[in-house]
Structure 1
Amino acid sequence: MSASTPTLEDWIREAAERMDMAGLYFGHGTDNALDEACWLASSALAMPPDFDASEFSRGLESSEIDALDALLERRIESRMPLAYLLGTAWLAGLEFEVSPDVLVPRSPIAELILDGFEPWLSAEQLTRAADVGTGSGCLAIALARHWPECEVDAFDISPPALELARRNVRRHGLEGRVHVIESDLLSAAGAARYDLILANPPYVPSASMESLPAEFLHEPRLGLEAGEDGLDLVRRLLTQVPAHLSEHGILICEVGEAAEALQALLAPAVEPVWLEFANGGDGVFLLDAEACRRAAEFLLDGGRVSTA
């Protein structure tokens, strides 16, 4: 930093430059160095993440600079996502506890929770939902917070993730409407039927795992890797969904880089609706109840369905 008293803006711009020079990857809450530096600074200085622009001109005390520099060094040296260093992350305007036991919240599905699911599903039709692969519980909690008439079952197979999700449910005071359930996909759903099933399962092809940026290697492999084409879990999920959707229900599922493989897999039976997002993100498809039924019948009859 300069010899004169630096402002917050001075520190943020220099920190962003250092991050870029270090070759950090941004994709766990931000997508560029400047936004990451702002997030780091707001947390270290106990400011809201959307702090007022007037704060940029404030002078920094030496103790504040020391705290900021220490956190920046940890981010650069460890290549750990900033959310893990802070222990919290934001999605859909809500703050969640996170740890390396769960993926860092970042799904574009959050945009749908904020904006609604029409024309496929009206607000009046959305009373019960499932979140498959809930991780930190962020999507389930966001859905319950923004849709107060909706009750949500949040499924995950990882016991550490389930414990963290339960803490987040308590954090947001939703114990009565968000139910955290240990389950391999929808295997523990019983006879439940849902108006909406959200799913963000692992979808990274095995061959892609070793080429991921270092930041991803701090996340649980269980939440990322999904076989040769990235669809091992999605195939199984698609065979389970018809038994758990209401007649007007829809499935919304994120498959990321496995989108092309998913399109090719289902092409003989059904055409997925690929959703677009104003704030970025892709690889999210939608199927209504009838399309889910056709997809499941196709997979069970002739498609490759993993039973692992």
Structure 2
Amino acid sequence: MRIQDALNKGEIPRSEIEILLSSILKKDKTWVIAHNDSDLNEQEMNQLDMYINRRKDNEPIAYITGEKEFYERPFIVTNDVLVPRPSTEYLIEATMKFINNKESKTIDADTDIVIWSKRYSDTVPTTIVDIGTGSGCIAITLAYEFPKLNIIATDISKNALRCAEQNIKKHNMESRIKLREGDGISAVSGLTEPFVLVSNPPYIPKNEEVQIDVSSYEPHIALFSGSDGGDLIKELIYESNKNPYCVGFCMECRTDHVTI
């Protein structure tokens, strides 16, 4: 079978087949499209059929390929962590403005999703604390952007921390990022230097319906948080506000959580 024939199978969108083939062939999408007359061998065809069947069962493409791009860099993704989303790239932008320009405001990231920044003091942070790091994409991206700052990445899930550790090694950030297991800000209770809290916490109300590929495959502990979605957000705000070393926070949340 030629690549062109595979792209026209029609069982799932062509754009998704391009991504799957790119993963199977270990080539970028541009190569796949440009070499559509190339033949696939039997192993590649069988793997593509398996991938397509998984996608037809609504499994996220990132879990099928084991990788997702975030801020123009590749990250390993397992089903123990959320799939990185474009809206979270705004969290990186907001954190950069918070640290570089002492700017703190609410910015739109997606429909009903905002990045909420709030400053408690004008002290310049020496550390970034990423609460609920998941794949580690936020912490690693911020380590690239702020080479002189310390980075601490925390998560309550051991399996998520394993995924983050893989990505830290992939990006050669072992000397830059410290991983800690723990719930919320308690994971950095012994920290005695000024820090900014950065987080993409769970913020979906527990009874809200979400897309089937999200509800069936992504970790619910990283998605849902109480009846209004704000349980962990309230906790993080309360704990960070009373911590004498926290200079403020940048957080992804729902629009209505900003009033919490």
What is the 5 A alignment of 1:134-283? Answer: 134-189=133-188, 190-208=190-208, 211-216=209-214, 217-244=216-243, 249-255=247-253, 258-260=254-256, 262-263=257-258, 265-266=259-260
* Paired residue secondary structure (1:155): strand
* Paired residue secondary structure (1:139): helix
Residue 18 of structure 1 pairs with residue 11 of structure 2: yes
Q: TM-score, normalised by structure 1?
A: 0.67
**C-alpha displacement of 1:34:** 4.5
Aligned twin of 1:38? 18
Aligned twin of 1:99? 78
**C-alpha displacement of 1:205:** 0.4
One-letter amino acid of the counterpart of residue 156, structure 1:
D
Q: Does the CA-based 8 Å contact 1:204-1:225 persist in structure 2? A: yes
Aligned twin of 1:87? 66
Greater CA radius of gyration, 1 or 2?
1
* Paired residue secondary structure (1:96): strand
* Paired residue secondary structure (1:188): helix
Q: TM-score, normalised by structure 2?
A: 0.79
One-letter amino acid of the counterpart of residue 100, structure 2:
S
- Distance verdict in 2 for CA 1:126–1:69, change over 3 Å: farther
Deviation >6 Å, runs of 4+: none
- Distance verdict in 2 for CA 1:165–1:116, change over 3 Å: closer
Aligned twin of 1:306? none
* Paired residue secondary structure (2:168): helix
- Distance verdict in 2 for CA 1:230–1:87, change over 3 Å: same
Alpha-carbon distance between aligned partners in 2 of 1:226 and 1:151, rounded to the nearest angstrom: 29
Once the two structures are superposed, what CA deviation does each residue of 1:11-70 show, in whole Å capped at 9, x if it has no partner? Answer: 33x35x432xxxxxxxxxxxxx4543322121111103x535862543333534443233
* Paired residue secondary structure (1:218): coil
Once the two structures are superposed, what CA deviation does each residue of 1:196-229 show, in whole Å capped at 9, x if it has no partner? Answer: 3211111110111xx2222112111111110100
**C-alpha displacement of 1:93:** 1.9
Q: Does the CA-based 8 Å contact 1:92-1:111 persist in structure 2? A: no
Q: Does the CA-based 8 Å contact 2:225-2:232 persist in structure 1? A: yes
One-letter amino acid of the counterpart of residue 18, structure 1:
E
Aligned twin of 2:34? 55
One-letter amino acid of the counterpart of residue 96, structure 1:
F
Q: Does the CA-based 8 Å contact 2:240-2:248 persist in structure 1? A: no
Q: Alpha carbon RMSD of aligned pairs, Å?
A: 2.7
One-letter amino acid of the counterpart of residue 204, structure 1:
I
Identity of aligned residues (%): 29
Give 5+ residue unaligned stretches, structure 1.
20-32, 267-308
* Paired residue secondary structure (2:84): coil
- Distance verdict in 2 for CA 1:245–1:79, change over 3 Å: farther
Q: Does the CA-based 8 Å contact 1:193-1:246 persist in structure 2? A: yes
Number of paired residues? 236
Alpha-carbon distance between aligned partners in 2 of 1:59 and 1:115, rounded to the nearest angstrom: 44
Aligned twin of 1:133? 132
Q: Does the CA-based 8 Å contact 2:79-2:218 persist in structure 1? A: yes
Q: Does the CA-based 8 Å contact 2:94-2:250 persist in structure 1? A: no
* Paired residue secondary structure (2:81): coil
